[in-house]
Amino acid sequence: MADFVNAAEIFGENVFNDTVMQERLPKKIYKTLKETIEKGLELDLATADVIAHEMKEWAIEKGATHYTHWFQPLTGVTAEKHDSFITAPMPNGKVLMSFSGKELIKGEPDASSFPSGGLRATFEARGYTAWDCTSPAFVRQDAAGATLCIPTAFCSYTGEALDQKTPLLRSMQAINEQSLRLLKLFGNTSSTKVTPSVGPEQEYFLVDAQKFLQRKDLIYTGRTLFGAMPPKGQEMDDHYFGTIRQRIAGFMKDVNVELWKLGVSSKTQHNEVAPAQHELAPIYAQANIAVDHNQIIMQTLKRVACQHGMKCLLHEKPFAGVNGSGKHDNWSLTTNDGINLLDPGKTPHENIQFLLVLSCVIAAVDKHAGLLRESAADPGNDHRLGANEAPPAIISMFLGEQLEDVVEQLLSTGSATSSKKGGVLLTGVSTLPDLKKDATDRNRTSPFAFTGNKFEFRMVGSRDSIAGPNTVLNTIVAEAFCDACDQLEQAEQFDEAVHDLIKKNLSEHQRVIFNGNGYSDEWVAEAERRGLPNIKSMVDAIPELTKDEAISMFEKFKVFTKAELESRKEVKFENYAKTINIEARAMIDIAAKQIIPSVIKYAKSLADSINAIKAAGVSEVGVETELLIEATKLLKTTQEALKNLESIEAQAFAMEEGEAQARFYHDNVTKAMEQLRTPVDELEMIVDKEMWPMPSYGDLIFEV
């Protein structure tokens, strides 16, 4: 069979992974590199030279002619500069192919051309990329040929982090150190490393490429700025987990093959709730590798979609009226010898170590709810969070019936003596097996839900890097672990002290636990009564980065400096303002050059029709006249809204960059954009489809 794919055979074939390193590197060099990866030791240049040579030879065998330091600046996408392996020509006219340890370890991109929030001025160009040897290099094969991609961190000449990767790696060090302290208190001396494991579920939309290219809003902004709902949306729930269409199935197959070659364990694929929406989920990986893999996933989805005559939309809300896309970030902590710190076991009420870990996570989430909310903030997510399709903007934790019962026992009586069991679910059909029932249900409305042996942070936007949310998660939990260890290491009676600490954490932070319907108005009121923050927009969330408690925590664990946090705050305000500015200008352009001329043309055709009917001696011209009156009225409203948006956008653009400008865009420009969209969407329902200047929602989401 020509299309047969053996996943086991191709998996990781384009990755310079452990198997390849063992085969190609001298034993001493391999051992040194493994110690560097596992213990964080420094890699000497002589060792790096050997690794670089073997990496180059391996990549050339894969067809590579160039290498690149592949990094993740604060642009929201990855960056790369390609250098060939070719050295200066020899006297005989030939060239050598070389790649040194120095080139492997360090690169030098222009730091002033990336967002830095003032850390780098235009005349201060020098920045460095540094090899992240804990994330394997890989060969990417695309239209450019084969390129050796080396995952790297990116920092300025003065050492500040200018990327997503560096703070993440710092936070992984922090959570490792504090987790080992905690494990030692419980007598664990065999575990030598604790790593955050992450599994991000990636949602996305697919639309036909030709229709995409007829929509300037999709081209410029990644979302539709205008669009009336078709007669059918997602009301019937028939797309979710439905049979995958053949065109989409072919796309998914090619995506899987490409990802498997790159060592990305793409496992689950299905149709999502909204028409034309789908999901891909990999198996869990070490946090920094999961971050790299998710970037590879997003790039692969876009590239393969083009090969199939489609476009992949990763915007959080590409279509109004149907569900948007998120990225569920599944997070847990695992030791090097296979212990999951978030595994409650069969009797969680007796698992004191787990209860302490759980209570610390609860304390961390409650204390730093604002930071968690900020980590998922972007302009697209403002359309999604709190819209009865994604978690509310209020941070709360779902524990489930079993753990909630244990918590209630601890709070009411001071001790927990039992744990609810799952039991058996009777199907009532003799030919079907009875099913083992979990001890607790799931809650899709919870932003931060416990799901068996991990927490699922459901707020993250579909386009966003998962580095930011996991950096925050790692650090806030590291702080909670540190606080616990500081107390317990001084305790004379450990058992009594740990029991008291668990109860104290639960008592002081139980307000963040909520197992009910997060979409209900009652919960919004209840959350306010509890004093939980309800941060509804990105511009309201950004200041959380530089609150005193955030700066103190990040500096204590050496994840961010104050200057780095201030710079990220500035970058995010600028990003918000620029995003809304682009959207507003796109609306102005589309309305002025496409929609209004089309409506005028339609109105003229109606007027001509009316005149022709009257010329034929018919005095009653009802339908045509009503349509003309309605179209003319909406056209006038559209023109007025367009002038208003032009004026307000000009005011916003003239402002100095920063928080005040971002807030003006949020408070004024977005409202003016909605005022323009409303009459245009009504006009779409009136104007002859042949005269409407762009494909409709129905064309986009049902004809894929």
Per residue in 50-94, pLDDT (tens digit) is 999 999 999 999 999 999 999 999 998 999 999 999 987 778 878
CB atoms within 10 A of CB 465: 27
Axis crossing angle, helix 352-367 with helix 494-509, rounded to the nearest 10: 40
pLDDT for 4 equals 80
Please name which of 233, 236, 237 lies closest in space to residue 273, comparing C-alpha atoms. 237
For residue 484, what are the contacts with CB-CB under 8 A and spacing of at least 6?
Answer: 182, 356, 360, 501
The answer to whether the CB of 284 falls within 8 A of the CB of 131 is: no
Mean pLDDT of the chain: 93
**Separation of alpha carbons 434 and 17, rounded Å:** 43
Give the chain's largest Cα–Cα span: 104
Beta bridge partners of 280: 202, 269
Per residue in 122-145, pLDDT (tens digit) is 666 678 999 999 999 999 999 989
pLDDT surpassing 50 at residue 627: yes
DSSP 615-657: HTT----HHHHHHHHHHHHHHHHHHHHHHHHHHHHHHHHHSPS
CA dihedral of residues 680, 681, 684, 686 (deg, nearest 10): -90
**Separation of alpha carbons 165 and 180, rounded Å:** 23
Percentage of the chain lying above the pLDDT 70 cut: 97
Per residue in 582-604, pLDDT (tens digit) is 999 999 999 999 999 999 999 99
Identify the structural domains of the chain with CATH numbers, from first to last: 7-163 (3.10.20.70), 171-225+237-423+441-560 (3.30.590.10), 576-702 (1.20.120.1560)
In sequence order, which ranges of 142-225 are alpha helices (DSSP H)? 165-185, 209-212, 216-221
Per residue in 676-686, pLDDT (tens digit) is 999 999 999 99
The answer to whether the CB of 225 falls within 8 A of the CB of 590 is: yes
**Separation of alpha carbons 353 and 373, rounded Å:** 28
**Separation of alpha carbons 297 and 202, rounded Å:** 8
The answer to whether the CB of 198 falls within 8 A of the CB of 297 is: no
pLDDT for 354 equals 95
Please name which of 583, 563, 585 lies closest in space to residue 575, comparing C-alpha atoms. 583
Q: Which of 41-45, 227-231, 352-356, 582-586 has the least mean pLDDT? A: 41-45
pLDDT for 446 equals 93
